[in-house]
Structure 1
Amino acid sequence: MTVEHQAKKKRNLSKGISRSLVSERHPLNVKPSGNSLVFTDSGLNNQKSKLLGSFRNFNDELILELLSFIEHPQDLLQLGHSSRVFYAFTYDEDLWRKIYMRKSSKDKNNKSDYPLGINRWLGSWRRTMLKLPEPKEALIQLPENLLCSDALFRPFQCSKIDYSVALKHLIEDEEESYKLRRTQNVKFGIERYDEDNLTLEIFNDQYLQKPFIISKKSNTRWPEWSLPRLLKRFSDVKFRQESVEWPLHFYADYHVNNSDESPLYLFDCQSEAMKKLVEEYKVPSIFSNDFFQLFNQKDWGVNCRPDYRWIIIGPERSGSTFHKDPNFTSAWNANLTGRKLWIMLPPNVKPPGISTDDTESEVTSPVGIAEWVLSGFYNDTLKLTEFQNCKIGITFPGEVMFVPSGWWHSVINLEDSVALTQNFVPDNSLAKVLHFLKSKPEQISGFHLNKFKKSLINFINSFSDRINEGNLQIFESFLQKVKTLDNDEDIGEVDCDKLGRLPIFEFFIELIKQNGRSQELEKALRELENIENEEFYKAGKNIVASKKWGSLVEGSSVSTFSFNFDDDENDDDL
């Protein structure tokens, strides 16, 4: 490869993607909002207003929001029959998906394996909810530019995005890296290593704080869990897809034939199938040390480890928006079929287009994955690679991604894919996990209350004379408070007022001690103290003496002062 060709490839990788990637016509002839600026027609505007009736006073986003409160499919259907424009609004797939999810969450007494008794996927949420058989219903065509609406056109546009075109240069570069087993993109690529060349010591000492990809020369490293193979074994077994549970054959029909902007992602850890599948793979040796294993100690009657291993199945275009893994754990993700795009940023770099509160307990992604890309946030992320250590890469079948604790990451399935992932706590990450459990108890997830209570009681019965007295009092007080609570939901779903503060931090410390790992615990606690001191110091740097108070006490014999938390604050009004 010539130097000129290499430079050209680097320029292509860095310049991002075009925002105009979808030219396919909307099935009802809805147009983008920009058309209304170019093709102005007072007659069409009057016609649209007439067809909307009183709704003409609302913008398109508000109309969709109002329609989302409709509870019954037939009501939405009848509204769509009132005019061509309302037909276009009620054709929006997300409206029907919301009705399904809302009604299925209330369908607690349904004894069927299928939420709402709907046992057949018919190609769209609308047709499935209305049970519209083949052939497809007639599509009412709108006159040219009668309805120009980004709110209606954008979801369709996002559902048609072709990442093989949008990310053509990156995919080509990553394909070459995959074949060479060495990442070529030195600017923001994710390094690749041979699994056989990494030891546990090397991993802990050198690679714990950065994402990387590993693979083996052998193609038999991972089980063959393609969707067709899994269907032969588990067709009628229910798996979880985000907020619903479906038999796998139902999800498979949805998987191959949907027009969602963000397709449902099968993300399952507790199905009957998963209980069998976990016996069919072996954890890579460099990820084998895991402190969270201590939450499962059969000899002690402790069995409350938070959810930590999942099978993941998703069609092309599905994926996950930006997030950090739970409980400040690290993770590895083995790609079994298909290709995945990874966009990763360090803990202190907030991804473009993402909002959080100060503690990151609330993470808001106002747009879906495809819209995030098309809106230019992907290009904005590329700009961060210049100085913020942003990493972007693709994993291919047989490759494993390591996700360091605290790193932001978003994943897009470039093809239909099956993957296996597991969260864990490596040796040298113990201090950070302890800090999370201690300082952010309200963000802890994956633990289940009944299992936690039972495990804590069994542990106390086994080690009451060896537990720190202060921790023992905390345990007993907690158990007394939740004595009458019978709930096996994730603690993140349980009323905080009823639970109070779960003593998971204290329980974890006692488990480490009783497991004979006191030296590692002492080291981690010293590191924890340093982390807390550093945070205190950083917070103190933002505290400045109030100039107004200083002027008031100047010359006074009283030795006191006040604080102002904003350097730029104009305190003339104090």
Structure 2
Amino acid sequence: MIPFVIVPENTTSLYESYQKVYEECLEGNKPCVLSEESTCKWLARTDWTYPDGSLKFDFLRSRFGRAGVPVVQSDEQSDYASRLQVPVSFDDYLEHLESKRPLSGINAPHGHVWYLKDWHFQRAFPEYRAYTVPLYFSSDWLNEYCDARYPYEPDKDYRFLYLGPKGSWTPFHEDVLQSFSWSANVSGTKKWYIFPAGEEQKLIQADGQLPSDVTSVDLSGCVHFVFVQRPGEVIFIPSGWHHQVHNLDTTLSVNHNWINAATVGNLWNLLRDSLNKVKQEIEDCAADFVDAHEWNRQCQMILKADLGMNYPEFFDLLLFIGTRRIQCDNEHEQYEFVRMKDIESIRGTFKQVEFSLDELPREDGAPDAIRKFLEVL
């Protein structure tokens, strides 16, 4: 079982419950579960499902059917990113789920388990408020930044919708950018296998790789939790915790990845360590570059391709969030609590990274901007 369950508190104690979850779960990097009360008023639950919890396929088809969605062959995944996503229409996928009819335009044998994964639903339908982020997880630097910097790019955020039949699953993995994640079941049931950070090392195989399916290996010597997530429940997965997820029946869920003050240090460590690996892997090419600045530029380009973020974007993220937090004032206690957490964390992170500013491309204005920002702080 998950170590503890948190039920939404009465609004009269909103600040206390918010602070409790932030300190125990986010800063403490521990999992938790919110009860179905936290999602019961979502349009995604009231408009998309019947009283028995099953999906309203006709409504989903009429409202969103024309949208293009990405699907993968869930039954043939050897690791988290091993299968290419195939674009189909949402209408076609719903028809496939209902009637088991093969998906149109896909040259694959009939009988595969197709899983709709990583659909940027909120970007596709920005005016449709299908759900609201649970208050406890609302301090989200990553999506706040993406919304401001890349408002018109359809795939440039970290909010996803998943829909799959019984038997669809997600292989063993940890989330991108050392992020937190929360996942809410709109309909259906999921079975989670969750491993505290570091426990995955006990599962490394003879080839040096982690298994894609932990249900096929001996877990007796490895600390882990098994949790069955019911409709409406929201599960929080900490930074760096590996997990594997199986749909026990037809399941639709919403998932966000995000970072904030509590996990930005993990992201910085990931970027720094990954950049060092990039430099080691291509160090034999260093002499081919005009100077150190050109070398650093190439390393940052590779880092961005590998992780989806590099030093310039990371520093821009910190400057963006820090400036917003300094300029914004809010009368709500819970906002002021996390605003001060954000400012304190950004100050500390910038002081850690000052030695890395020389590794930025020559034309990047981050060094001067960061030094000026530290003067304001």
TM-score over 0.5 (shorter chain)? yes
Code of the residue aligned with 1:403 in structure 2: it is I
1:157-197 deviation per Cα after TM superposition (whole angstroms, max 9, x unaligned): xxxxxxxxxxxxxxxxxxxxxxxxxxxxxxx4453221226
| Aligned position for 2:254 | 420
Q: Is the 8 A contact 2:143 2:157 kept in 1?
A: no
Aligned-pair CA distance for 1:238: 1.4
Return the TM-score normalized by structure 1. Answer: 0.43
2:364 equivalent to 1:522: no
Q: Which has the larger radius of gyration?
A: 1
Distance 1:237 1:513, change over 3 A: closer
The CA RMSD measured in Å over matched residues stands at 4.1
Of 98, 102, 119 in structure 2, the residue corresponding to residue 269 of structure 1 is: 119
C-alpha distance in structure 1 between counterparts of 2:39 and 2:317, whole Å: 38
2:61 equivalent to 1:248: no
| Aligned position for 1:215 | 35
Of 319, 331, 356 in structure 2, the residue corresponding to residue 510 of structure 1 is: 319
C-alpha distance in structure 1 between counterparts of 2:306 and 2:267, whole Å: 21
Q: Structure 2: which 5+ runs fail to align?
A: 49-54, 73-84, 103-108, 279-291, 327-341, 355-377
Secondary structure of the 1:283 match is coil
Of 230, 242, 257 in structure 2, the residue corresponding to residue 396 of structure 1 is: 230
Q: Is the 8 A contact 2:146 2:157 kept in 1?
A: no
Aligned-pair CA distance for 1:264: 2.1
| Aligned position for 1:195 | 8
C-alpha distance in structure 1 between counterparts of 2:320 and 2:5, whole Å: 36
Code of the residue aligned with 1:520 in structure 2: it is S
C-alpha distance in structure 2 between counterparts of 1:292 and 1:218, whole Å: 22
C-alpha distance in structure 2 between counterparts of 1:440 and 1:313, whole Å: 32
1:207-231 deviation per Cα after TM superposition (whole angstroms, max 9, x unaligned): 2211111114477333233361312
Count of paired positions? 283
1:442-499 deviation per Cα after TM superposition (whole angstroms, max 9, x unaligned): 999xxxxxxxxxxxxxxxxxxxxxxxxxxxx979x859x98xxxxxxx95489x9xx9
C-alpha distance in structure 1 between counterparts of 2:230 and 2:62, whole Å: 24
Distance 1:302 1:273, change over 3 A: closer
C-alpha distance in structure 2 between counterparts of 1:262 and 1:346, whole Å: 32
Distance 1:353 1:478, change over 3 A: closer
Aligned-pair CA distance for 1:276: 3.9
Q: Is the 8 A contact 2:120 2:159 kept in 1?
A: no
Of 18, 22, 43 in structure 2, the residue corresponding to residue 204 of structure 1 is: 22
| Aligned position for 2:365 | none
1:124-158 deviation per Cα after TM superposition (whole angstroms, max 9, x unaligned): xxxxxxxxxxxxxxxxxxxxxxxxxxxxxxxxxxx
Distance 1:293 1:314, change over 3 A: closer
Secondary structure of the 1:246 match is strand
Q: Which has the higher strand share?
A: 2
Q: Is the 8 A contact 2:8 2:38 kept in 1?
A: no
Q: Is the 8 A contact 1:287 1:426 kept in 2?
A: no
Aligned-pair CA distance for 1:272: 8.4
Distance 1:253 1:293, change over 3 A: closer
Aligned-pair CA distance for 1:251: 1.5
Greater CA drift, 317-326 or 430-439: 430-439
Aligned-pair CA distance for 1:295: 2.3
Equivalence map 1:97-496=2 (5 Å): 188-196=1-9, 199-208=17-26, 209-217=29-37, 220-222=40-42, 223-224=44-45, 225=48, 226=55, 228=57, 229-242=59-72, 243-256=85-98, 257=100, 263-270=113-120, 274-276=124-126, 279-293=129-143, 295-296=145-146, 298=148, 306-350=156-200, 365=211, 369=213, 373=215, 376-377=216-217, 380-381=218-219, 383-384=220-221, 388-441=222-275, 478=297, 492=305
Aligned-pair CA distance for 1:292: 1.8
C-alpha distance in structure 1 between counterparts of 2:257 and 2:198, whole Å: 21
Aligned-pair CA distance for 1:405: 0.8
Q: Is the 8 A contact 1:290 1:425 kept in 2?
A: yes
Q: Is the 8 A contact 2:179 2:257 kept in 1?
A: yes
Return the TM-score normalized by structure 2. Answer: 0.62
Code of the residue aligned with 2:256 in structure 1: it is Q
Code of the residue aligned with 1:266 in structure 2: it is L
1:34-68 deviation per Cα after TM superposition (whole angstroms, max 9, x unaligned): xxxxxxxxxxxxxxxxxxxxxxxxxxxxxxxxxxx
C-alpha distance in structure 1 between counterparts of 2:305 and 2:317, whole Å: 18
Aligned-pair CA distance for 1:521: 1.3
Secondary structure of the 2:185 match is strand
Aligned-pair CA distance for 1:319: 1.2
Greater CA drift, 221-230 or 391-400: 221-230
Aligned-pair CA distance for 1:434: 2.1
C-alpha distance in structure 2 between counterparts of 1:238 and 1:442, whole Å: 38
Aligned-pair CA distance for 1:330: 0.2
Code of the residue aligned with 1:324 in structure 2: it is E
C-alpha distance in structure 2 between counterparts of 1:308 and 1:365, whole Å: 25
Distance 1:253 1:353, change over 3 A: farther
Code of the residue aligned with 2:267 in structure 1: it is V
Aligned-pair CA distance for 1:429: 1.6
Code of the residue aligned with 1:202 in structure 2: it is K
Code of the residue aligned with 1:230 in structure 2: it is L
Q: Is the 8 A contact 1:204 1:427 kept in 2?
A: no
Aligned-pair CA distance for 1:428: 1.6
Aligned-pair CA distance for 1:279: 2.6
